[in-house]
Amino acid sequence: MNDLSNTTTPPPPALPVPTSAKYRVPTIHPEGRKFVAIAVGITILLGFALQWEVAGWLMAGISVWVAAFFRDPERTTPHGEGLIISPADGMVCSIAQVQLPRQLAGDGGLESDTATGTVTRVSVFMNVFDVHINRAPIAGKIRRITYVPGKFVNADLDKASEDNERQYFIVEGADGTAVGFCQIAGLVARRIMRFVAEGDQVAVGERVGLIRFGSRVDVYLPEGYTSQVLAGQRCVAGETVLARKGAPELLLGATQ
């Protein structure tokens, strides 16, 4: 007969330390402060100096919108192996197999599927009410930045990836994984800005650029990565897991 008197039960795994978070009012990015100041100045001129009440209230509304457009909220970014984080706020307007843009190909560029010559592109459309600060999808070194002048057609259209003014980035992680993404100007957007340069080291979720006013960001997934979002889904820059390495298949879902 076995003696069980000395048998001990292993302790249960430790629970995570409780944490909490509080809402913080977003600050206005420095690039937008001058636009807010101009809008407020015009509001004061029309509403108080010239006493055009209707125009003054209209400009007051526009001033609030300009301040909201350039808001720069803090984000809590997931960390982990094999994750690609959304670089943009907005709606996933397209997930497609496309030919790799020549700006991301060539020596030191990205690799496409050897059989089809294509890559998976996830496109996130930002309307004029979304946060327009773009963030790094992975941690690593900015290996390439390429600016391409172009048109200003609706960024929600597929041809915007080829016709519109845009700026390509390649970020290479410590494990050699390279992710390409592209800022695309839209119908109203008239300027693409970047806060980083080639050779800079960036953390995942770090701010890398800004687009004025309404635009789109395309992300080109490396081989072996699968989209973790659906067309029509909303993404949060620096927080939403856009793709994952080794995921077995594309997600399925429905709009309702």
Asked if 225 contacts 250 with a C-beta cutoff of 8 angstroms, the reply is: no
Residue 10 above 80 pLDDT?
Answer: no
Mean pLDDT, to the nearest integer, of 152-170?
A: 70
For the whole model, what pTM was predicted?
A: 0.82
From the candidates 86, 161, 215, 227, which is the catalytic residue? 215
pLDDT confidence of residue 196: 94
Q: Is 94 noted as a catalytic residue in this protein? A: no
pLDDT confidence of residue 71: 87
Helices (H) and strands (E) in the chain, counts: 3, 16
Determine the Cα–Cα distance for residues 89 and 127; give it in Å rounded to an integer. Answer: 9
Residue 156 above 80 pLDDT?
Answer: no
pLDDT confidence of residue 180: 95
Residue whose entry in the numeric block shows the structure tokens 């990015």: 29
C-alpha distances in Å from residue 69, one per residue of 28, 54, 130, 133: 9, 23, 7, 10
Q: Which of 30-44, 101-115, 178-192, 231-245 has the highest mean pLDDT?
A: 231-245
pLDDT confidence of residue 65: 85
pLDDT confidence of residue 90: 94
Mean pLDDT, to the nearest integer, of 61-84?
A: 89
Triad 231, 215, 108: Cα angle to 5°: 85
pLDDT confidence of residue 192: 86
Asked if 235 contacts 81 with a C-beta cutoff of 8 angstroms, the reply is: no
Where residue 69 falls among pLDDT bands split at 50, 70, 90? confident
Mean pLDDT, to the nearest integer, of 29-50?
A: 86
Residue 14 above 70 pLDDT?
Answer: no
Where residue 6 falls among pLDDT bands split at 50, 70, 90? low
Angle between helices 53-69 and 30-44 (to 10 degrees): 170
Where residue 114 falls among pLDDT bands split at 50, 70, 90? low
Determine the Cα–Cα distance for residues 172 and 227; give it in Å rounded to an integer. Answer: 19
pLDDT confidence of residue 129: 87
C-alpha distances in Å from residue 96, one per residue of 40, 162, 169, 219, 247: 43, 14, 19, 11, 17
What's the mean per-residue pLDDT of the chain?
84
Mean pLDDT, to the nearest integer, of 238-243?
A: 95
Determine the Cα–Cα distance for residues 236 and 16; give it in Å rounded to an integer. Answer: 25
C-alpha distances in Å from residue 193, one per residue of 3, 206, 209: 73, 15, 5
pLDDT confidence of residue 117: 78
Where residue 243 falls among pLDDT bands split at 50, 70, 90? very high
Determine the Cα–Cα distance for residues 85 and 103; give it in Å rounded to an integer. Answer: 22
What percent of the chain has pLDDT above 90?
A: 43
Residue 4 above 90 pLDDT?
Answer: no
Residue 92 above 90 pLDDT?
Answer: yes
